[in-house]
Amino acid sequence: MAGMSHRHGASSVIVLATSVALALSALGATDVTVADARDDALESGSIERGAGLFVASCATCHGSGGEGTRIAPAIVDAGAASADFQLRTGRMPLAQPPGQQSLRKPPAFEEQSIRDLVAFVASLGDGPPIPDVAVDASLPRGFDLFVADCAACHGATGAGGAVGGGALAPGLEQASPRIVAEAMIVGPGQMPS
């Protein structure tokens, strides 16, 4: 995906995100969703509640104001997209010692807490917002973009694979369009943004 942002532009992020999810579904990935279900009974994220959760769960590694420590990087300008991606995919909080690749696991926080933490992290700086992904993409165009920019690491079927240096590109069978778009924007781990 290294060349995607230069060759295809920002609008392709949305086309590719939705097309990847639809293509994986067509290939038999049963956990793919084509939209993130949002419970309307939940509140928008609260910066104040998020600050409390951050101090209790994240500040030991990232510092009380997101400035980073010797253990973990600064997240002042990480933005809502990065925080949402890391928390929803269970990559944060990190279960492994620092320096290890964060892997997908069940989220450590329930939905309202994720929203609150995302609101707090977003308030720390000028990072990218959560993308608004509409599912009206072209499956053939998405497949072409995926093969050209993503398949070398994630595999032709999206099953994942080794990228070198001991790092793995995860399988995409659980990735919603929003998660794919967030990953494309923030470039987690070895992945370029």
**Same domain flag for 116 and 159:** no
Is 70 exposed, middle or buried (CB count within 10 Å of its CB: 0-12, 13-18, 19+)? exposed
Q: What is the structure's pLDDT at 16?
A: 57
Percent of the chain at pLDDT exceeding 70 = 76
**Same domain flag for 90 and 150:** no
**Same domain flag for 113 and 56:** yes
- The rounded distance, in Å, linking the Cα atoms of 31 and 123 is 32
In a domain, 86, yes or no: yes
In a domain, 55, yes or no: yes
Q: What is the structure's pLDDT at 2?
A: 41
**Same domain flag for 113 and 172:** no
Q: What is the structure's pLDDT at 94?
A: 85
pLDDT band at 10 (very low <50, low <70, confident <90, very high): very low
CATH classification at residue 108: 1.10.760.10
User: For residue range 91-126, what is the model confidence (pLDDT) as tens digits?
Assistant: 999 876 666 778 889 999 999 999 999 999 999 999
In a domain, 139, yes or no: yes
More confident residue, 98 or 72: 72
Q: What is the structure's pLDDT at 53?
A: 97
Domain region containing 156: 10-35+135-176
In a domain, 161, yes or no: yes
Residue 57, sorted as left (phi over 0), alpha (psi -120 to 50) or beta, turns out to be alpha
- The rounded distance, in Å, linking the Cα atoms of 114 and 123 is 14
Q: What is the structure's pLDDT at 13?
A: 53
Q: What is the structure's pLDDT at 3?
A: 42
Q: The tokens of 57 are what?
A: 């769960």
| Among candidate residues 123, 147, 163, the one where a domain is terminated | 123
In a domain, 15, yes or no: yes
Q: What is the mean pLDDT of residues 73-80?
A: 96
Q: What is the structure's pLDDT at 190?
A: 80
**Same domain flag for 97 and 118:** yes
**Same domain flag for 115 and 142:** no
Which residues have C-beta within 8 Å of that of residue 137, sequence separation ≥ 6?
Answer: 14, 15, 16, 17, 18, 19, 22
**Same domain flag for 31 and 74:** no
Q: What is the structure's pLDDT at 178?
A: 93
The mean of the pLDDT values for the chain is 81
In a domain, 63, yes or no: yes
**Same domain flag for 51 and 119:** yes
**Same domain flag for 23 and 57:** no
| Number of domain units in the chain | 2
Contact 16, 146 (CB under 8 A): yes
User: For residue range 11-70, what is the model confidence (pLDDT) as tens digits?
Assistant: 455 555 555 555 544 444 434 333 344 455 577 999 999 999 999 999 999 999 999 999
In a domain, 114, yes or no: yes
DSSP state for residue 186 in the 8-state scheme: H
In a domain, 183, yes or no: no
